[in-house]
Amino acid sequence: MATLHNKFCNFTSMDMLSIDHILKRNQLSVTDSRKKILELFKEHNGALAHNDIEKKTGEKFDRVTIYRTLQTFVEKGIIHTIPTPDNSVRYALCKDECSKGHHHDNHVHFVCDICNVTYCLDSVVTPEVNLPQGFKPSLIDVVVTGRCKNC
């Protein structure tokens, strides 16, 4: 397996192919901004906020483009949103099962108070909740705040 080595990217060619593939699979044209933002999600182990992406890409892309790219990715089921107590939307990569308008990210999220990293705890399945009579759930978000394993 060949490895690409330029100063901007420490991805293997397989990773690159997979990024292109994710876009194509979702009928999205392969553009610089979409590739770069997907790369960021792949290399960053945790969730990213709009602002994180803006910083990590430097001045490379317009703010509007980032907003639109994130929207598109959410719609296509490539990333999902995570509500947080401090009310800043964060985004993380979906598993392969998610698709256009159909998310299946039924895992618990953890936001570290100290390092501020947001984890997708894929192994922790969203618990059952017994709602009062008449309430019909369609989505359950569980966000745990505390001290993470690295802090």
Partner DNA sequence: TAATTATTTGCAACTTTGTTGCAAACCTAT
Partner DNA sequence: ATAGGTTTGCAACAAAGTTGCAAATAATTA
| Site residues for Mn ion per CB under 5 A | 92, 105, 120
Q: Which is nearer to Mn ion, 61 or 109 (CB)?
A: 109
Give the nearest distance from C-beta 15 to a second copy in angstroms: 26
Q: Which is nearer to Mn ion, 16 or 103 (CB)?
A: 103
Q: Which is nearer to Zn ion, 82 or 112 (CB)?
A: 112
Task: Single out the segment in contact with a second copy by CB under 8 A; choices: 28-36, 67-75, 78-86, 94-102.
Answer: 78-86
Q: Phi and psi of 121, rounded to 5°?
A: -90, 80
How many Å separate Cα 101 from the centre of its chain? 15
Task: Single out the segment in contact with DNA by CB under 7 A; choices: 26-34, 101-109, 110-118, 139-147.
Answer: 26-34
Using CB under 7 A as the binding rule, whether residue 116 contacts DNA is answered as no
Using CB under 7 A as the binding rule, whether residue 85 contacts DNA is answered as no
CA distance 84 to 91: 11
The Cα-based distances of 89 to 53, 82, 101, 138 in angstroms read 12, 6, 18, 20
Cβ atoms within 10 Å, residue 139: 8
Give the nearest distance from C-beta 151 to a second copy in angstroms: 9
Coil, strand, or helix at residue 111? strand
Q: Which two tokens stand for residue 13?
A: 């060619």
Using CB under 7 A as the binding rule, whether residue 87 contacts DNA is answered as yes
